[in-house]
Structure 1
Amino acid sequence: MENSAKAKEFSLPLELQFSMRKAEINAKEMTWEELYAALLNLYYQRLMEWHAVKELVAQENIKLDFDIPTDIEMKNLIGQDFIEEEIFYEDDEEDNPFESV
């Protein structure tokens, strides 16, 4: 069975599809710094939700063992990707065959 992006998009509930589309439109108007801040805010929000779920599970005496990345690990991961993309785009600018003389 194929797991295409299109098939996953249609499996979302309608209200989530609207939210995803709204986020895509807003993201097109953001700078890299704004996108970075939004991603970190979203990560922090999901982390707080995860801690709430862990608290509820602990109250029910259910043992789960998950290794959640720390904030520092996530920032390092995001920072590395951001730096790699900047280097990639800088290399492309130097090798542009359509550059006017």
Structure 2
Amino acid sequence: MDTIVKYLDKSLDYVSHELIGDTLYINVMSNLKSVPCPDCLIQSSKVHSRYKKSFQDLPIQGKKVVIVIKNRNLFCVSTECPRYTFSETFDFIDAKSKKLNDLWMKLQGSH
């Protein structure tokens, strides 16, 4: 399962999965030690909080697939930066989206 998760993003690790009814939930988390602040680009590993972010992936054998990321909010460690906290982001999904972004879907169609 970890190999499949790496197709989404190499910085994600498989944690667990569970089939509930007709939906397969795949739990993942980031393996990055630090993340750059989107404003000042200084790396931070100082965790403020964690939350679950879920989104729908393409179905597998007629089952809905929901990816659940244990996402981190981090403190910006720069005293010069106007941003106090920020969330991890991933290229395959837009910040507020509940489905994979168009670029990811196009890449999957090209294989």
TM norm structure 2: 0.24
Structure number with greater Rg is 1
Q: Which structure shows the higher helix fraction?
A: 1
Larger RCO (CA under 8 A, 6+ residues apart): 2
TM norm structure 1: 0.26
